[in-house]
Chains A and B, each alone.
Chain A
Amino acid sequence: MDQLEIIAKLKQGDKTVYTEVVEQWQHMIYNTALSIVQNGEDAEDITQDVFVSLYERIQSFREESALSTWLYSITVRKALDNEKRKARQKRGGFLQRIFSVNESDEPVNFNHPGILLDNKENATVLFKALKKLPDKQRVAFTLHKMEGLSYQQIAAIMDTSLYAIESLQVRAKNNLKKILKEYYEQHL
């Protein structure tokens, strides 16, 4: 079944096709969300929300891009919204801050389950550094490294030009180098 057929069936409310789409893309959505939010429970919630959005908003899908691109862009938006909401909650948790003992603003260590065993320690440091990047740089870098997407695909997902993505990648790498250098200078 080609994409046009899948979209047509989804628009007709075909539950079998919907089930197939969820089964086919659930890990892709989950991995993307997990790599951005760096929290398993949040990534699970985002994945569910993405598929609920697919069900509710498929009628508004204009078929200008691939279905996977559309799903990626919903995932990225929901993941960033989730982070903003959490940051707001953290800022608003005044009483919680008063009564908590030595609560640091440093990101919590995150271990991605798909990282090779030899790289686990370094990857944890890298994920921590990624949290310090601006959103666009972080998303562009993460989609390329964790989902293996081309710059062209990332440009479609982030609705920007190929040149902008190339620039984001370069800036992300340079910023990460600076952050990691500072980190290792303090921790070695």
Chain B
Amino acid sequence: MQKRSIEKLVEETLDSLEGAKRAEAKPFLLTRVLAKINSGEETANAWTRISVFLSKPAVALAGLLLIILINAAIIFSNTKGNENIQNMNSSKDEFAVNVLSIYESENQEP
């Protein structure tokens, strides 16, 4: 009995899309589509303008020089930084020697 009712339900479910009406898109779809097209064109235009500007020989050369200068500045600052570290290390050693010597002198006292 239940088997028959399940089969009936299955058939009814399969037929449940019969007579369905078409769902309708929200109003002003065209406005949104045109806005999407325009924004796409604007983005494309912006990128085209940027690539045209960047491909100019003067701009490309200036960019290359700028990159070289930045690299040189980084290398120069690193060398200077190493010198500072070396100075710091030597002063640290001196400080460590002094501290040890103080303890040593304190321990030597009766």
A residues with a Cβ closer than 8 A to B are 19, 22-23, 26-31, 34-35, 43-44, 47-49, 51-52, 55-56, 112-116, 119, 122-123, 125-126, 129, 145-147, 173, 176-177, 180-181, 184-185, 188
Q: Which of A23, A51, A176, A185 has the most CB of B within 10 A?
A: A51
CB pairs A–B below 8 angstroms (30 shown): A19-B30, A23-B30, A27-B23, A29-B25, A35-B23, A47-B25, A48-B29, A48-B32, A49-B36, A51-B29, A114-B21, A115-B17, A116-B19, A119-B16, A119-B18, A119-B19, A119-B20, A122-B12, A122-B13, A123-B16, A123-B20, A145-B17, A146-B17, A147-B22, A173-B14, A177-B10, A180-B9, A180-B13, A184-B6, A188-B2
Report yes or no: A180 in contact with B29, Cβ–Cβ below 8 A.
no
- Using Cβ atoms and an 8 Å threshold, which residues of chain B touch A146? 17, 20
- Using Cβ atoms and an 8 Å threshold, which residues of chain A touch B7? 181
Question: With A48-B32, A176-B14, A184-B9 given, is the CB distance from A34 to B23 under 8 Å?
Answer: yes
- Using Cβ atoms and an 8 Å threshold, which residues of chain A touch B106? none
Size category of the binding interface on chain B: 20 to 34
Number of A-B contacts (CB under 8 A): 104
- CB proximity to A under 8 Å, residues B1-48: 2, 5-7, 9-10, 12-26, 29-30, 32-33, 36-37, 40
Task: Give the 9 A-B CB pairs with smallest separation, nearest first.
Answer: A114-B21, A122-B16, A30-B25, A119-B16, A123-B16, A122-B13, A145-B17, A31-B22, A51-B33
- Using Cβ atoms and an 8 Å threshold, which residues of chain B touch A19? 30
* Chain A min CB distance to B75 (Å): 41
Question: With A176-B14, A188-B2 given, is the CB distance from A30 to B24 under 8 Å?
Answer: yes
Report yes or no: A115 in contact with B16, Cβ–Cβ below 8 A.
yes
Give 17 new A-B contacts, CB below 8 A, not counting A51-B29, A114-B23: A29-B25, A44-B25, A52-B36, A56-B40, A114-B21, A116-B19, A119-B16, A122-B13, A122-B16, A123-B17, A123-B20, A146-B20, A147-B22, A181-B6, A181-B7, A181-B10, A184-B6
Interface of A is mostly: helix
- Using Cβ atoms and an 8 Å threshold, which residues of chain A touch B24? 27, 30-31, 113
Closest chain B residue to A30, Cβ basis: B25
- Using Cβ atoms and an 8 Å threshold, which residues of chain A touch B17? 115, 119, 123, 126, 145-146
* Chain B min CB distance to A164 (Å): 21
Report yes or no: A114 in contact with B20, Cβ–Cβ below 8 A.
yes
Q: Which of A28, A34, A48, A49 has the most CB of B within 10 A?
A: A48
- Using Cβ atoms and an 8 Å threshold, which residues of chain B touch A47? 25, 29
Report yes or no: A27 in contact with B30, Cβ–Cβ below 8 A.
no
Q: Which of A122, A129, A177 has the most CB of B within 10 A?
A: A122
Expressed in whole angstroms, the Cα–Cα distance for A184 and B3 within the complex equals 10
